[in-house]
Structure 1
């Protein structure tokens, strides 16, 4: 027997649950379907288990989208202050870290529980372990979804299935397939907010630095720049600065790393040369950077030289390596560890106010499945909340 609802939402993640509660509070009968055993799996592991649920400094320029104006409407209608109010109403204690990032004091489960409570209060039906076998549009007023041997119908269908990042959490191309089924354009996808991997010769040289973290300023070939921590790993480079720049990096491009941000390396060298001309280069550089990193970056014979044995050209070259270390990485870790998926459903196919497909009445896409990706630091969750609310107020 077919069960009928006003709205069917596919995906019980951040955007799907937010949309469900919003639509439910409008008096819409809402069904959320997901093939997972638990709702909000990506929320549960985010922020080291504490969920960086938003950022106090959200602005449109924190997002990558082929149509940069697309995000403005939803973000303006549901700013981060609205979500913070919701968190506070549920008595969830939180704290602020660098760059305006907000985290739960306790754990990420509090955010999932809050969303599930809101859905419960809004009389939303949530059915997990429900694998979708087919979706079709019956007419201009209704869609039919077959899931786990059941048949459901609704006048509004919301796709909130996320992207390809973290397949171990159940990520799949399902949302893209639905978009294609209904004739919507997709933009090429790739892993975002993701660590870089070494070439084999780089691995040999830098692998021993695994675990070392240093502050840096990193710049992509396109000019985008981030000042945060850089982390060396067995497999390559990671840390917030790398994850941020990965969104702007194209294969084969060099990245520029300033290992002494806000400092002029040449001026520092000249200053020490005046004060301690016989101090060797290794001891000099080890005042500013971890010794193991210094040994990996520079030739041993050069490091053994006293500062007054280095010519002008040599000092210039050393300073350039410190302020503008240029390195071309092999690639990225890919979707396995990526926090987001870049690309997806073309936003030119959607209404920026409601997230409804302009060609297909009653069909909506929200969250990561579309071509909107935020910076690291709570921006992607804020897009999930904002796009979910925008859709929930219309669907």
Structure 2
């Protein structure tokens, strides 16, 4: 009788052990991910079990979760977890939450939009881009802009993604006065009866050496020349900015690119008023003599809005800009040749010839054999 009791006890103990083995404890049943993030949940995150069969067979069925575009949609989902224990298929459920806390990124293709007085409307989308993994909508608050009145206005930009995240920025709008030109009588005496300044642009179009446009203190652009930002150069500078940001450099998406004749005249005059003409001429171009009017020149900015001067960024730009078709236009030690102080932030797009110019170590004037220096 005693042996029977012992056998029964052993069987009950084995049954209890078998019951314990049939259960796996999950140490975590709630997981959270950012929208667009790859969802990876390992067996070791779910359980402390060291059962090889359990660990090797465990699978989280995230492939069945609903998608928004190419990513799992925002929400909380009861998600199946399957695994095998002692050869038997088991199922447990966990909660997977997808949240979107990332705001859209706004990129200004140009910092300033210039329009003529009495223009009917402004297409801001030509100058502004927004990106986000979710769908994004741009809206503009231009209630302060009066297209009938010349002046400088600020337009609010708001980017909203499909999950409600928002980011804001501003862009400047300059409404220019439309000036009708009055024909001037010709002076056949050989004297300049209008007493025009010696540096007034008189060229009928850009000056080229080969396929490179030259704009400096000896070669100007007419007031009517207004091409806007060059599309190829604009794409190249944004690619360069993106690559620099990916490497951790302090570079803003915004930059100072195309400037009209009229805007450059205002900018130059403000420097003359602040510093005097002699000093202003060492760092600012007179209207018609600015490379920015070509649509091929760009000033890079730090994320705080100041011009790039830090050695870290400046050295990288000097050594890599040619790979994107740019040259650093105004170099240190070449002031008498270019006519301007060194500007590590000022890039000029020259396309396929950038590498050759970079390797020569010469300024654009030296490389092309054209005069530069002062007016």
For this structure pair, what is the TM-score category when the shorter chain's length is used for normalisation?
A: under 0.3
TM-score by length of 2: 0.19
Larger Rg belongs to: 2
